[in-house]
Amino acid sequence: MGDSYITLVPERAGIDPAEQAAMEKRMVGWMQENGWIERGKSDCVFTEGGGCRFTPSGSLHMAGGTDRGLSTYGFGVQKHDGKGVFTNLKGGLESAHCPACGKDVERYFYDMVSDWYEADGFPPVKCPLCGAASDIRNYRLDPLWGFSRIGFEFWNMGPLTPEFVEEFTAMPGEPVRVVRAHI
Ligand SMILES: [Zn+2]
């Protein structure tokens, strides 16, 4: 079985570096003060720069589970300078429905994302079937992806409880997407 992680991705696509840094500090501090992650960074995640290992009380609080003794088992913050796309990785998309015409454009979606990624700013993305341009975040994706410059990664943690996601969301004070990925 490979590793998997859940990323909580803010809904906003553009979050500048100063705000990213402040958000990272606030969220890591909050998790540490609650005793859900260790104080020091270690090699417990595949996130660049390392992360903080979950504590037993953190496992229980966030996912109602217990530490299975995995070496990769922690919290990391993924930041992007330009645009960030958080995908489900292994397995890819099942479907991508256009918010305007409702048709499945999954087979075009990787190219659409790559055009969006290369473009300046955060332009709306044209549906190849109906021509309507929509915000990339409004395409209905299964599994869900996130589009933001920052994401909070939970490595090899079982499904996060809805209560914890709600609690987490209250901290940045904005909606987050729950993106599941397997590598
Ligand atoms: Zn369409």
pLDDT band with cut points at 50, 70 and 90 for residue 9? very high
pLDDT in tens, 85-126: 999 999 899 999 999 999 999 999 999 999 999 999 999 999
pLDDT in tens, 131-172: 999 999 999 999 999 999 999 999 999 899 999 999 999 987
Work out the average pLDDT over 38-60.
95
Q: Give the Å distance between the CA of 106 and the centre of ligand 1.
A: 11
Q: Give the Å distance between the CA of 139 and the centre of ligand 1.
A: 9
Residue whose tokens read 């939970």: 154
Q: Give the Å distance between the CA of 28 and the centre of ligand 1.
A: 40
pTM value is 0.94
Q: Give the Å distance between the CA of 125 and the centre of ligand 1.
A: 10
Q: Give the Å distance between the CA of 109 and the centre of ligand 1.
A: 12
Check whether 173 has a pLDDT greater than 90: no
The Cα-based distances of 15 to 9, 80, 83, 105, 172 in angstroms read 11, 9, 9, 28, 12
